[in-house]
């Protein structure tokens, strides 16, 4: 009788029985952790943990969990503990006050198949990261990050961009690819000492690859939780594609770095590559221990190229989108430019202190758009404690920047695009501590000064030269982002009408 019943079970019933038995064994045998760990939103299943609860765009879900569980909660993803930190105060407590334990990066998802994934800046940790970061920052400053020399280079690129936009003669167009290539040329001018024509096929391909890699960030994260997936025979999660894209980026940067190194002249410091080689040789010749080498140089260059491209392009596109919804903001910016700069010359960095309303618009764009909503993940290097919760060594930390930039308690009406929140009654800028689109602590964005400069020069010139209008005034594009490592707006069409 029992045997008959067993034999008559369908495949689905068998699967359910097996999952049930595995779950039971898991709960009966798994060790109990008696420390006061951060709360979790529900049952962590064997193998997958809380992954089954996640959504394609988890932002609202994370918001709901914050309301239910508080500013710190933990999810189990595969064998990884992921601690989510919410709100400016908690982020500051962890990333600034406890920077010693909260500043490393977790192991990279594709470490089993890609070499060098822990070199460079973005994904490196420890003393190697420190030396790459310090050296890179010093070189970027030498090349004028935040100074006038670089402003001139940016202005040249803005000119090319203006001419491209004019070609559309006010017809509806999508600006994503042209904007991305234009801002990418700014970082190329610094790192490679050269720019690319906007119809250069290899360059266009690189820009496309960056977009793809960021879009596929969610799938890439899966390999971090389940590293064995990389070896699965079928390309179920598109891992083979992702690996190929990474390799192609690497090949591109390596070939340009090689070109620059071959033509190296210690008397001519015309690129980041040249300056890095100079610093590397100086240290190597003097016999001090150094992590500066060609392997790291290639990775640093890839990271700067990658990080300096999509972020600025997305912020610019968000700004245009907000303006379509708020024509009165565009008018105020234009009046301010007419009053302080006029229309006969392009705005320069010297005009920045006078264009306060525009500065407030840039801050509000950075806040409302949430370009990097969950920042980049950090890792806890030793058992620690945060607000009474035990945070286990090795836990992956997700700094939820969105939770701080959209915090109702701080901003009152976070959903609204309202640049005035950054101005006082005299029209002076009020910079709020809670405005943290670049994150905070030791890992704070390395390119913040460059980003601020680029955004100012691009946007001031654009609003001086064009009026941005919707393609269809009765049907404005929605204020909606595409969730990934970065969050660009959904593609939309816009009309750029040249001002007379």
Point out which residues bind ligand HEM (CB under 6 A). 121-122, 133, 187, 303-304, 307-308, 311-312, 315, 371-372, 375-376, 399, 437-439, 443-447, 450-451
Q: For ligand HEM, which is the closer residue by CB, 103 or 461?
A: 103
Q: For ligand HEM, which is the closer residue by CB, 242 or 307?
A: 307
Task: Quote the CA–CA distance of 350 and 75 in Å, as a whole number.
Answer: 48
Q: Could you tell me the two tokens for 336?
A: 């301010």
Q: For ligand HEM, which is the closer residue by CB, 443 or 495?
A: 443
Q: For ligand HEM, which is the closer residue by CB, 230 or 312?
A: 312
Distance in Å, CB of 440 to ligand HEM, minimum: 7
Q: For ligand HEM, which is the closer residue by CB, 58 or 470?
A: 58
Distance in Å, CB of 393 to ligand HEM, minimum: 19
134: number of Cβ within 10 Å: 10
Q: Which residues lie closer than 8 Å to 313 by C-beta, 6 or more apart?
A: 176, 179, 180, 182, 183, 184, 488
Distance in Å, CB of 53 to ligand HEM, minimum: 25
Rounded to the nearest 10 degrees, the angle between the axes of helix 201-215 and helix 239-262 is: 140
Distance in Å, CB of 95 to ligand HEM, minimum: 6
Distance in Å, CB of 209 to ligand HEM, minimum: 17
Q: For ligand HEM, which is the closer residue by CB, 230 or 319?
A: 319
Distance in Å, CB of 451 to ligand HEM, minimum: 4
Q: For ligand HEM, which is the closer residue by CB, 207 or 304?
A: 304
Beta bridge partners of 253: none
Distance in Å, CB of 226 to ligand HEM, minimum: 23
Q: For ligand HEM, which is the closer residue by CB, 148 or 335?
A: 148
Distance in Å, CB of 304 to ligand HEM, minimum: 5
Q: For ligand HEM, which is the closer residue by CB, 230 or 307?
A: 307
Distance in Å, CB of 243 to ligand HEM, minimum: 22
Beta bridge partners of 75: 82
Distance in Å, CB of 144 to ligand HEM, minimum: 12
Q: For ligand HEM, which is the closer residue by CB, 50 or 92?
A: 92
Q: Which residues lie closer than 8 Å to 490 by C-beta, 6 or more apart?
A: 477, 478, 480, 481, 482
Distance in Å, CB of 447 to ligand HEM, minimum: 2
Task: Quote the CA–CA distance of 179 and 168 in Å, as a whole number.
Answer: 14
Q: For ligand HEM, which is the closer residue by CB, 92 or 495?
A: 92
């Amino acid at each position: 009788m029992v045997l008959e019943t067993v034999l008559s079970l369908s495949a689905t019933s068998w699967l359910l029985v097996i999952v049930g038995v595995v779950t039971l064994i898991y709960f009966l045998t798994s060790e109990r952790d008696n420390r006061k760990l951060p709360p979790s939103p529900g049952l962590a299943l064997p193998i997958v943990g809380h992954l089954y609860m996640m959504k394609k765009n988890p932002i609202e879900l994370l918001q709901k969990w914050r309301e239910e569980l508080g500013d710190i909660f933990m999810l189990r993803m595969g064998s990884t503990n992921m601690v989510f930190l919410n709100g400016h105060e908690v982020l500051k407590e962890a990333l600034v006050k406890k920077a010693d334990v909260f500043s490393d990066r977790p192991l990279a998802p594709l470490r089993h198949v890609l070499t060098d994934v822990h070199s460079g800046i973005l994904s490196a940790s420890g003393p190697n990261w420190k030396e790459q970061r310090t050296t890179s920052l010093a070189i970027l400053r030498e090349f004028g990050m935040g100074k006038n020399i670089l402003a001139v280079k940016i202005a040249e690129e803005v000119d090319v961009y203006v001419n491209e936009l004019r070609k559309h003669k006010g017809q509806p167009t999508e600006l994503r690819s042209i904007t991305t290539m234009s801002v990418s040329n700014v970082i190329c001018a610094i790192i490679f000492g050269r720019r690319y024509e906007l119809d250069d096929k290899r360059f266009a391909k690189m820009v496309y690859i960056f977009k793809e890699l960021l879009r596929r960030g969610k799938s890439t994260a899966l390999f971090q939780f389940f590293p064995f997936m990389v070896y699965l025979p079928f390309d179920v999660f598109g891992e083979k594609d992702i690996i190929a894209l990474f390799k192609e980026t690497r090949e591109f940067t390596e070939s340009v770095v090689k070109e620059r190194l071959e033509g190296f002249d210690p008397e001519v410091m015309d690129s980041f590559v040249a300056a890095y080689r100079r610093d590397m040789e100086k240290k190597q010749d003097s016999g001090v221990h150094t992590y500066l080498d060609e392997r790291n140089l290639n990775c640093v260059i890839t990271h700067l190229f990658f990080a300096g491209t999509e972020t600025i392009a997305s912020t610019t596109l968000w700004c245009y989108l907000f303006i379509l919804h708020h024509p009165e903001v565009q008018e105020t910016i234009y009046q301010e430019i007419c009053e302080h700069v006029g229309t006969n010359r392009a705005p320069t960095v010297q005009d920045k202190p006078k264009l306060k309303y525009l500065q407030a618009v840039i801050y509000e764009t950075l806040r409302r758009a949430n370009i990097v909503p969950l920042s980049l993940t950090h890792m806890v290097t030793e058992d620690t404690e945060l607000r009474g919760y035990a945070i286990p060594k090795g836990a992956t930390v997700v700094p939820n920047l969105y939770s701080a930039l959209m915090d109702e308690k701080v901003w009152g009406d976070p959903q609204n695009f309202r640049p005035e929140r950054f101005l006082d009654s005299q029209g002076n800028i009020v910079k709020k501590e809670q405005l943290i689109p670049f994150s905070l602590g030791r890992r704070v964005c390395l390119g913040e000064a460059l980003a601020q400069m680029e955004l100012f020069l691009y946007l001031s010139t654009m609003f001086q030269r064009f009026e941005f209008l919707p393609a269809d005034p009765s049907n404005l594009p929605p204020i909606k982002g595409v969730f990934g490592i970065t969050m660009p707006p959904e593609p939309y069409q816009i009309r750029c009408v040249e001002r007379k």
